[in-house]
Amino acid sequence: MLRTVTGINKRDYGLCLISGLLLSLPFSNPAFSLFIWFGFIPLFFALKDKKFLSAFILAYSTGIVFWAVTIYWLVNVTLFGTALLVLYLSLYFGFFGLILSAYSLKLKTTSLMFLPSVWVFLEYLRSHLLTGFPWVLLGYSQYLNLQVIQIADIAGVWVVSFFIVMVNTTIYSLFNLQPPVFKKSGKLIILPAVLLIAIFIYGFYRMNIPFYAGKDSSAKPVKLSVIQPNIPQGLKWYMHSRAFIMQRYFELTNNATKDNPDLIIWPEAALPVVLEEEPHYYLSLRDYIKSIHKPLLFGAVTFKDNLYYNSALLLSGKADLLKQYDKLHLVPFGEYIPFRNILKFLDTIAPIGDIARGKDYTIFEFPDNFGVLICFEDVFPELARGFVRKGAKFLINITNDAWFGKTSEAYQHMAASVLRAVENRVYLVRAANTGVSAFISPSGRIISLVSGEKGDSIFIQGHKTEDIYISDSRAKTFYNRYGDFFPIFCLLIAILSVPYALLHRLRKEGAS
């Protein structure tokens, strides 16, 4: 019955399955990053000549495949929550198909701007609605394709997503050209070709700027050591494992001190207690810091004014508390429960109780100005941008990806950090309980990782020390100054394209 009403056949669903897989594979393994440049094409063929309901169902089906394959790792935390999230996130695919159906894929030239604009604005909405979920934005798939992502310092990750959809649209349109094909194809590929050349020229230029490439002799070096302890998630808050946890941190830190770093970095919630409720662990940590005479940045759950916070704290080499940052963007259903009075049955998800939201963009001032992004805060472009605008000269992400097992999640997470480094042209250093702990240059190049003997970066313990560079004369990027103007620009393009499409259709009908 549904097939009769919607006009959808098995071929259409097969095309949607192929599209969902092609779009998701780059986020499972960056070796497949090329697939995303033509991943929409099967979906476009499935949507051809489809009415509103059919287009929505087909695009929504593609979204289910994409999200199920991409965030499958979330089942390690919650199966029911994963299913709900997949169903919700797939709506953005569904709306994309609905809008495409209303606009008509037959308008090939104008579609080169319209389709990417619609997609980018939908990604922007997804990143902000209901606290936001800016995970696996299309542009993140290219985090190892450095020449392509350099343009993010102008318009953010959004412009990379835009270009990906534009290339998909161009290829699809070439398949649908009517004779004379050569004459029409030349007109169709002019804009994408010019943009492609411009992006690669700009990327080559940016990657060869000495500071971005880590070759600026005038920049000040700062030596940082990151600690990756690989504490099993089941032991982190287990009372009898606290001594073991502290001992592992101390042993790894002892190894790092041999490199004589300016700052040692422990990951999120490194201290296995609430700081103020069991102060003897904090006192033990302070005694240790006094013995090694090295500053330490570490994560801990803190308690003040009857509220719990997910915090980052900086101790001097004399173990004085220099500054504390409280996490600004919390994980819904992980650190707090929205609508707790209504959803009482979900109380067990946050065992400590609601974590409170921090109030300020805290800038740490030693060994130089830097900002800290806790957990998944690095996936929010506006947060990294906010810290840099407040004066941060480099960024540190402390996190814990052990929740999700040996999956692609840790690498999807790191991909976002790469784009944050490029957008703001700062070094970004990651310290994770387990992978991926890394040093990332302002060009987005991954300088080094904490890795094991077999090259593994997750579920191994170790430390890594690297120099990063600070430039006091470095100007803020266009993106850092003006923020997310590009999604708004895309919205305007999408709105203005509608009357153009209607006028074009009326002219064709009048001519016939």
Active-site residue flag, 268: yes
Please say whether the dihedral angle defined by the alpha carbons of residues 510, 501, 59 and 37, taken in this order, is positive or negative: positive
Structure tokens at 247: 């001992």
C-alpha–C-alpha distance, residues 124 and 159, integer Å = 11
**Given the residues 236, 375, 377, 490, the one annotated as active site:** 375
Quote the strand ranges of 339-393, DSSP E. Answer: 370-374
For every residue of 296-323, DSSP letters joined together read EEEEEEEEETTEEEEEEEEE-TT--EEE
Contacts of 27 (CB under 8 A, 6+ apart): 70, 136, 140, 141, 408, 412, 415
DSSP H/E element including 427? strand 427-432
Length of the chain in terms of residues written: 512
Active-site residue flag, 375: yes
CA proximity to 156, closest of 421, 373, 438: 421
Structure tokens at 302: 């803190």
CA proximity to 58, closest of 93, 105, 22, 106: 93
Please state, as a whole number, how many other Cβ atoms lie within 10 Å of the Cβ of residue 113: 19
Q: What are the CA-CA distances from residue 17 to residues 24, 25, 311, 367 (Å)?
A: 11, 12, 42, 51
**Given the residues 268, 335, 409, 466, the one annotated as active site:** 268
**Contact status, residue 314 vs residue 295, Cβ threshold 8 Å:** yes
**Given the residues 50, 294, 327, 464, the one annotated as active site:** 327
**Contact status, residue 474 vs residue 424, Cβ threshold 8 Å:** no
Q: Which residues are catalytic?
A: 268, 327, 375
